[in-house]
Amino acid sequence: MSGSCLSDSRLWKAIHDLERRLTELDAEGRLEALRETVVALGRRAEAMDLQLNALLGLLEAKGVLTLDELSDAAVRLDLADGVEDGRMGADLVAHAPRCPSCARPVNPGRSRCVFCGTELPPAGVPGAGDPAARPRIVACARCGESIAERDAYYTEDGAVCPRCFRR
């Protein structure tokens, strides 16, 4: 298992932000307390990273999941807020419309809920009854599923299938 599982986490961002503030607060005499906090957070992140990697190694060794399945799950969690940025951003979905079936946040431009597959009502979608407004159907190269092009997630690297979460 290579790489750090926490490399893009909020904990690393907090450590970076604290390190930046160390130089800003040096004149106020609180430098040492902040430095100790940064060191403690770094140790905590390293311990969590070790435990997470050990857990993932055991799960893979016992055949519970593969690294590809883990990667798919991470992409799914990352895309839950609609932005592939290596972070979970619950704030982005706080005011999103909800699926009438599972109550999870949905993109109003989609025809189906990506979580439970329930067809979403077309209310508020311009031209929903217009045959010319029908979505373009594409096939995922990995899973073969036919999906509406607008239902795919779009990242800097291209479209991501909402079923298998692969490009």
Taking a C-beta distance cutoff of 8 angstroms, is the pair 106, 116 a contact? no
> What secondary structure letter does DSSP report for 28?
G
Q: Which residues of 98-115 are buried (b: 16+ CB within 10 A; e: fewer)?
A: ebeeeeebbbeebbbbbb
Residue 148's nearest CA partner among 124, 159, 156 is 159
Inter-residue contact 81 to 92 (CB < 8 Å) = yes
What average pLDDT does range 49-54 have in this prediction? Answer: 93
Segment 104-147, tens digit of pLDDT: 888 777 888 888 888 888 755 444 434 444 566 777 777 777 77
- Is a pLDDT exceeding 90 seen at residue 36? no
Instruction: Record the pTM.
Output: 0.40
Tens of pLDDT, residue by residue over 5-14, are 555 677 778 8
Nearest Cα to Cα of residue 53 among 6, 89, 9, 14:
6
Is the pLDDT at 48 greater than 80? The verdict is yes
